[in-house]
Structure 1
Amino acid sequence: MSADLTLFLREFARSFDEQAGAQARDRFLRAVGARMAERLTLPPCATIEAMEHEMNALLALIGWGQVSLSLDRGRHVLQIRHAGLPTLGGLGAPAGYWLAACLAGVYETWIGWQPDAAGGCAITWRPDQPREGNVFIMEYGSV
């Protein structure tokens, strides 16, 4: 990405947060993520492993890193470990993850459209979560 575009995006994000606030930003970015997922259609997948492979192929197309999925049967959640999400400096919560809500919208749409997907589920994450390098952890489950 060019320096001019990077500067524009960082200042856009900073101004958006100042004017709209974090909650409005996250609602907006989830909607943007859902629209991205509609354009990058994930095919029906019979297994979590197949879904992970298909997601990684689509994420590679847009340069948004990679994902690994695992099912926590005890808590009834799908754990999503995402590495390589583009950052806008230290903006966002946790720091550097301004696009986290957009990514959540992508994953909610992709997973929600899968055969036999449970209704009433959403992506959640803890803004204060400790990170393992550049790995960002989200969960898909009942809200």
Structure 2
Amino acid sequence: MQTPDDPRLAYYAERQVAPQWRGFLAALAGELFENVGAEASRGFLRQMGERMARAAPLPPAESLGDLSRLTNARLAEMDWGLAAFEDHGQALVIRHEAGPWRIAEDAEGPWPAAFAAVLEGLYSGWLRHQGAGASLAARLDLEASEDAVVLSFGRLP
């Protein structure tokens, strides 16, 4: 259970998506998913994330701790939340919390899925820039968490 001292709650309180963007982002994601289809939309949004990674690459990381520190510094610049990394052997698990995917009281709808797809591309781009092979990518793990975006970075099936 989260307590008032939980840093995630403090982050949410300070860094919400600006009200003027909430309706726009919800409408954009809704129209994209409805008119283009979910898979094509997710592919497009992954490409956007990869473009963002190329535009703002991470400096070289010497360790997983460095990667975490550098990633969180870049995310802080973007007001996009916090990331934690765990090495699971065949995959690197990325837990992204406090991101701007909650744009309405109702967290349902296409925006959380759209934001997760952008994160897939962003982390894939950042990690490839660190030297990961082109056959590796970040993909959403829908079963991992209800309060965070959890990605697994590894070989594509």
Query: What's the TM-score bracket when you normalise by the shorter of the two chains?
Result: 0.7 to 0.9
What is the aligned counterpart of 1:96 among 112, 124, 132?
Answer: 112
What pairs with 1:1-143 in structure 2 (closer than 5 Å)?
1-73=17-89, 76-87=90-101, 88-89=103-104, 90-92=108-110, 96-115=112-131, 117-127=132-142, 129-132=143-146, 134-143=147-156
What is the deviation of 1:118?
Answer: 3.5
Q: Supply the distance in 2 between the matched residues of 1:4 and 1:48 (Cα, whole angstroms).
A: 37
Q: Which runs of no fewer than 5 residues in structure 2 stay unpaired?
A: 1-16
Matching residue's letter, 2:116: A
Shift of 1:99: 0.6
Provide the C-alpha distance between the structure 1 equivalents of 2:82 and 2:91, rounded to a whole number of angstroms: 19
Question: What is the Cα deviation at residue 107 of structure 1?
Answer: 0.3
Q: TM-score, normalised by structure 2?
A: 0.79
- Give the Cα separation in 2 of the matches to 1:104 and 1:14: 19
Q: Distance in 2 between matches of 1:43 and 1:2?
A: 29
C-alpha RMSD over aligned residues: 1.7
**Which runs of 5 or more structure 1 residues have no equivalent in the other structure?**
none
Classify 1:49/1:40 alpha carbon distance in 2 versus 1 (closer, same or farther; 3 Å).
Answer: same
Deviations 1:48-92 (A, max 9, x none): 11011000000011111010001012xx11010110121144223
Equivalent residue of 1:96, what SS?
helix
Report the count of equivalent residues: 136
Q: Report percent identity of matched pairs.
A: 29
Deviation for aligned residue 1:126 = 3.0
CA change 1:14–1:105 in 2 (3 A) is same
Contact (CA 8 Å) 1:108, 1:122: kept in 2 or not? Answer: yes
Structure 1 residues 82 and 2: alpha-carbon distance in aligned structure 2, compared to 1, 3 A threshold: closer
Letter in 1 for 2:32: F
Amino acid corresponding to residue 140 of structure 1 in structure 2: F
Q: Distance in 2 between matches of 1:124 and 1:8?
A: 26
